[in-house]
């Protein structure tokens, strides 16, 4: 998780860039955000299968033959990506996210993560990390470290602008 890397080695990180990603507050596990009202529009929880505690993973069925599941996966992760590209990306998508990373917390400090410039690429049509949740991440970071405010760049995209708008995202990353 880039947040922890920046906290533990801020001198090695010139800028932290989040692309519609989880940017958890100090002492808050990423998993806790799934229960927040700002996450209510996320389609991700409906895709989780199995008992995360027994598997040790947040698991999604990326190899399903069920067309409804495939449609939900496309909408969650690749909502504005052409279907052939989305299907190719789905074929590469792993099924398990380690539960440990999602359940762990990091203590953020002013001389660690709080000192590293950060940019948040807000994806306005994201159904995985809803815009309200993205806004919460930025608000929490700015409240905790007001002297190092988050630069927010907006993309009119779903969760994967690197597939739906790669040239625009590349230009924006280069500018960041």
Closest CA to 159 of 109, 89, 106, 92: 89
Q: What is the pLDDT of residue 80?
A: 97
3 state DSSP class of 16: strand
Q: Tens of pLDDT along 29-82?
A: 999 999 999 999 999 999 999 888 888 888 888 888 899 999 999 999 999 999
What distance lies between CA 38 and its chain's CA centroid? Answer: 14
Q: What is the dotted CATH code of the domain comprising 14-175?
A: 3.40.50.1820
Q: What is the pLDDT of residue 128?
A: 97
**Angle ∠(118,166,120) on CA atoms, nearest 5:** 15
Q: What is the pLDDT of residue 94?
A: 84
Q: What is the pLDDT of residue 45?
A: 92
Q: Tens of pLDDT along 67-117?
A: 999 999 999 999 999 999 999 999 998 888 877 778 889 999 999 999 999
Distance CA 88, CA 44 (A): 19
Q: What is the pLDDT of residue 63?
A: 84
| 142: confidence class by pLDDT, cuts 50, 70, 90 | very high
Extents of the domains making up the chain: 14-175
Q: What is the pLDDT of residue 56?
A: 86
Q: What is the pLDDT of residue 17?
A: 97
Token representation of residue 3: 């947040």
Q: What is the pLDDT of residue 102?
A: 82
């Amino acid at each position: 998780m880039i947040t922890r890397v920046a906290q533990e080695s801020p001198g090695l990180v010139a800028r932290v860039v989040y692309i519609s990603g989880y940017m958890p507050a100090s002492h808050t596990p990423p998993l806790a955000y799934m229960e927040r009202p700002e996450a209510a529009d996320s389609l991700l929880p409906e895709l989780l299968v199995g008992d995360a505690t027994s598997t040790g993973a947040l698991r999604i069925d990326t190899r399903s033959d069920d067309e409804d599941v495939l449609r939900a996966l496309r909408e969650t992760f690749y909502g504005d990506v052409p279907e052939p590209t989305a299907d190719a990306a789905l074929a590469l998508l792993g099924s398990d996210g380690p539960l440990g990373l999602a359940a762990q917390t990091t203590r953020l400090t002013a001389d660690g993560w709080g000192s590293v410039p950060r940019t948040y690429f807000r994806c306005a049509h994201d159904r995985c990390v809803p815009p309200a949740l993205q806004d919460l991440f930025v608000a929490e970071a700015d409240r905790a470290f007001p002297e190092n405010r988050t630069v927010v760049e907006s993309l009119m995209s779903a969760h994967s602008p690197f597939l739906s708008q790669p040239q625009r995202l590349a230009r924006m990353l280069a500018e960041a």
